[in-house]
Chain A
Amino acid sequence: DTEVTQTPKHLVMGMTNKKSLKCEQHMGHRAMYWYKQKAKKPPELMFVYSYEKLSINESVPSRFSPECPNSSLLNLHLHALQPEDSALYLCASSQTGLRPEAFFGQGTRLTVV
């Protein structure tokens, strides 16, 4: 099973709303990631969790708040977003160590109105 599951698939939210994106994997991977992707651009790294601890924050605005409740779950809490935050948000996971290839979920298409 090489599946990373993201919910919801689509999300429309107002600039004053609070919402959360969810990600789940059961591959035993101990590194999990959030990426942001604009149309026809490569994914941009936002956060990395390693062994449930935040190891990389790519200077992401505080209106994005990640959470890793356990080794299988990753959340991204959203608050007071701007229209320019509209994008495809991708979750990924990988083993640590010598096999770093990341497996991506289908993504959440977020629209901020």
Chain B
Amino acid sequence: GQQLNQSPQSMFIQEGEDVSMNCTSSSIFNTWLWYKQEPGEGPVLLIALYKAGELTSNGRLTAQFGITRKDSFLNISASIPSDVGIYFCAGQYSGGSNYKLTFGKGTLLTVNP
């Protein structure tokens, strides 16, 4: 089956620093999604990417859909304490009625004020 490798597993940074995390896949995806999850809450969609090479921003967040369709990265600029949480990438290969998302294992981000 499809597997996603997400790295790093965890990051501990100082407030104001930039953050970068990425996901790579053994197979291609049509869609890449990035979610953030805080303790006791459901994942919240941050950015959705639909085309190879696409670069999309959402405030201080920027994500790109790799041109090989097998990878994606998420950057967070000028981190703040409320950025703390687990960030998950998810990929989907849309075929027929296949709505399955494949999730990475997550990146735990800690921001030191």
Contact = CB atoms under 8 A, between A and B. Distances in A.
A65 interface: no
B48 interface: yes
Interface stretch (B11-19, B63-71, B72-80, B86-94): B86-94
A17 interface: no
B108 A90 contact: no
Nearest to A108: B42
B103 A43 contact: yes
A101 B45 contact: yes
Contacts of B94: 98, 100
Given A90-B42, A104-B44, A42 B104 contact: yes
B43 A90 contact: yes
Interface stretch (A48-56, A68-76, A77-85): A48-56
Nearest to A105: B42
Contacts of A43: 43, 88, 103
A103 interface: yes
A90 B50 CA distance: 24
Given A40-B106, A48-B100, A103 B41 contact: no
Interface of B: 31, 33, 35, 40-45, 48, 50, 86, 88, 92, 94, 97, 99-101, 103-106, 108
